[in-house]
Structure 1
Amino acid sequence: MNKRNLKILRDYIIGWIIAIAFWVVMRSYGVTVNAPATPEPVHALRLVMIFGPLAGILFGLAQIKIERNLYRRIPLWRLELFGLISNVAIMSIMFVLAFFMIKNTFDFNEPIDFWQFLRNPSVILVFFYSVLVNFVMAILRQINLSLGDGNLWRLLRGDFYTPRVENRVFMFIDLKSSTTIAETLGHIRYSQFIQDCFFDLQVVQQYGAEVYQYVGDEVVLSWKTTPVMDYSVCIKAFWAFQDQLSKRKNHYITKYGQIPVFKAGINKGDVTSAEVGEIKREIAYHGDTMNITSRIQEKCNYYDRLLLVSECYYDKISHQNGYVHELLGEEELRGKNELIKIYAIDRA
């Protein structure tokens, strides 16, 4: 299981532990109800620690399956129907386990069978609560994807309200021969072609990449730097994307008659991050680092190379094996008055 899926499971497990703990506290110390059982605090804690992770894993796996196999493939109403069916199936498993756990641990307030247990108003309320919790978590998941992975929590903390300086690596990835391909395919099929390409781009999440922006047939990836960062993950992410496209070349040839090839420029440096916009809000990065990265990517066609990097990024990976490095020269990039050393990177 890749890092992306593990993060989904982690978020769902944490979310469900909180949700079940909240439910147990509210039903224990809130309004008195005709519940089928009244657990002692130690048993209530056991319920939380068992059913929280279990619900998180089951609902998390369902979300992973939906994102992997169903998004972009079925209408929204069928997607919601699948989610509801998954909810019923998972909660059925949970209710069976809960019934036998209660029966064998602290027993019910009065003798009941499983069907009486299911018809209890408190159990029915638990089911609708689970639907609500899963709906909220799915919405939060979509908001997080829209903002960029990890940015939802940073937004809630107010990190972007005041502009702040961050040190980041940026990679601008652009489709080669995009104009020719667009003219060949036409607007609709070209858009479908780009959709398929960017669907395959999800492989870069295994290398910690954040998708900052999609602009036409270009995508901007970003990594926040740390003192112990392995800077080669950026290069690995690019080649993993190229390999993923190559694996699906039969699909692209059959459907579009084209094999997509992308070129990229990488740079590292300080940028200013801030939340911008009123009509439509988004998180934006500003600074020379962004401009230089874009200009480096534009030089790929000039040098006929797929991957070019700046000197400051090259210094971070120059000691690593497995790559062929070549200094192409010093360029005065468009809009800049200083010379920038540009290196080509290829696989050994």
Structure 2
Amino acid sequence: MHNLRFWFVAPVLGALAGLLYAGVFNAGTLTGSAIRGAFIGSPILLYERGFLLPYWRDRIRQAATPLFAIATLATYAAMIVLGNAIAGTLLHHVFGHMHSARAAMFMTEAGFAYALGVSGVIVFVFRVRDLIGPSVFTNLLIGRYHRPISETRIFLFLDVSGSTQFADRHGDLAAQAYLGQIFNALAAPVRRSGGSIDDYIGDMALVTWTMKRGAKDAACLRCVLDFAATLAADAAIWRDRFGQVPEFRAALHCGSVVTAEIGFERHKIAYFGDVVNTTARLEALSKTLGVTILVSADLLACIGPLPDDLVAEDLDFHAIRGRNEPLAVSAIRQR
């Protein structure tokens, strides 16, 4: 539903940008500027949300920043020209703008410069968002955690198995490329589940969810299973490029933490509380137990009855360093 809503939001935002252009430059009619803005802005916004040309977008997002900027601006320029041509044709035939359809399809230099300038700002904003993470970027922007707050969150520690051995065989540079591709593959399942990759620690990723998003339909558990399915589906590609298919261990837990924005010259959103340490120790326990996906009983209780296609295998209570009481854990698998 949220994705469907954005297909209506994008044209509105584009139309507002067109109206701003008409107001600033006193150019064209308000109706014409709004329609041009909608047809120019919508493809760009939909592209950035991954609805248009997703494969091309994902490819260039992995490039170095200069190449990313050039490729993105070129993509935007093509969308601007095409969107304006469609809008101009519509305006000519429906509203009688311009004496010919050909003239209506062309942009003024000021109009193109304005559209490209706005696109450049969008490129910069989305690149910064990619670098620090969408959720962190939004929360820093609105100052949600400028003052520490207490909240309940779900944490996932996902550790890539055998990365040290891979580095011993192929070298550190190859190992970094290997880990980079694995974490790239993790991004989409996390996004689809409503989570946020908050940090990378060596060969481990820290993912978090608000309780509402992560518990709904067991989204946090489905994220890990979705990631496993993604690796399996691309098994031939992994073997061809790296000689093996990645394996991982995952541990999930939830609880109350204090979330705060820390740092002065380099801001970061950090979590304080025993929940983070417990999740890290559950990840170590998953290795001892030989379990791929380990989840605490606390989290299962918050999720409630699991969907029919998921099974939790009870693994009893285990002592966790730093906790006074043993913690019940379960292994998660698909039925």
TM-score (norm 1): 0.83
Task: Give the count of matched residue pairs.
Answer: 327
* Cα distance change, pair 273–251 in 1 and its aligned pair in 2 (3 A): same
Alignment partner for residue 162 of structure 1, among 147, 161, 166?
A: 147
Whether contact under 8 Å (1:174, 1:219) holds in the other structure is yes
1:343 aligns with 2:330: yes
1:178 aligned partner: 163
3-state SS, counterpart of residue 327 of structure 1:
strand
1:239 aligns with 2:195: no
Take 1:221 and 1:228, find their aligned partners in 2: how far apart are those partners?
11
1:270-285 matches, within 5 Å, as 270-285=256-271
2:77 aligned partner: 88
Take 2:220 and 2:104, find their aligned partners in 1: how far apart are those partners?
57
- 1:183 is displaced (CA, Å) by 1.5
Identity of aligned residues (%): 21
1:127 aligns with 2:121: no
* Cα distance change, pair 203–96 in 1 and its aligned pair in 2 (3 A): closer
- 1:281 is displaced (CA, Å) by 1.5
- 1:229 is displaced (CA, Å) by 4.5
- 1:255 is displaced (CA, Å) by 2.2
Structure 1 residue runs of 5 or longer lacking an equivalent are 29-34
Structure 2 residue runs of 5 or longer lacking an equivalent are none
Q: Deviations over 1:146-198 (max 9, x none)?
A: 33223433323221110011211111100123322222222011111101111
1:294-333 matches, within 5 Å, as 294-317=280-303, 319-320=305-306, 321-333=308-320
| Higher relative contact order (Cα pairs below 8 Å, separated by 6+ residues) | 1
1:60 aligns with 2:49: no
- 1:339 is displaced (CA, Å) by 1.7
Q: Deviations over 1:89-140 (max 9, x none)?
A: 22222333444455452645xx688459848xxx211101111111111222
1:1-348 matches, within 5 Å, as 13=11, 15-28=13-26, 35=27, 37=28, 39=29, 44-45=30-31, 47-48=33-34, 50-63=35-48, 64=50, 65=53, 66-73=56-63, 76-104=65-93, 105=95, 107=97, 114=102, 118=106, 123-204=108-189, 205-226=191-212, 229-317=215-303, 319-320=305-306, 321-348=308-335
* Cα distance change, pair 193–116 in 1 and its aligned pair in 2 (3 A): closer
Take 2:187 and 2:226, find their aligned partners in 1: how far apart are those partners?
10
Take 2:295 and 2:105, find their aligned partners in 1: how far apart are those partners?
64
Take 2:302 and 2:281, find their aligned partners in 1: how far apart are those partners?
20
Q: Deviations over 1:297-324 (max 9, x none)?
A: 1101111000111111111345222233
Take 1:305 and 1:46, find their aligned partners in 2: how far apart are those partners?
61
3-state SS, counterpart of residue 345 of structure 1:
strand
3-state SS, counterpart of residue 180 of structure 1:
helix
- One-letter amino acid matched to 1:326: E
Whether contact under 8 Å (1:170, 1:268) holds in the other structure is yes
Whether contact under 8 Å (1:62, 1:86) holds in the other structure is no
Whether contact under 8 Å (2:297, 2:330) holds in the other structure is yes
Take 1:11 and 1:294, find their aligned partners in 2: how far apart are those partners?
40
- One-letter amino acid matched to 2:61: Y
* Cα distance change, pair 176–58 in 1 and its aligned pair in 2 (3 A): same
Whether contact under 8 Å (2:252, 2:279) holds in the other structure is yes
- 1:87 is displaced (CA, Å) by 3.2
3-state SS, counterpart of residue 230 of structure 1:
helix
Take 2:5 and 2:263, find their aligned partners in 1: how far apart are those partners?
29
* Cα distance change, pair 323–129 in 1 and its aligned pair in 2 (3 A): same
* Cα distance change, pair 169–260 in 1 and its aligned pair in 2 (3 A): same
Cα RMSD (Å):
2.9
Take 1:148 and 1:243, find their aligned partners in 2: how far apart are those partners?
23
Take 1:254 and 1:129, find their aligned partners in 2: how far apart are those partners?
45
* Cα distance change, pair 309–7 in 1 and its aligned pair in 2 (3 A): farther
- 1:203 is displaced (CA, Å) by 2.7
- One-letter amino acid matched to 2:279: T
* Cα distance change, pair 231–306 in 1 and its aligned pair in 2 (3 A): same
* Cα distance change, pair 61–153 in 1 and its aligned pair in 2 (3 A): closer
Whether contact under 8 Å (2:195, 2:213) holds in the other structure is no
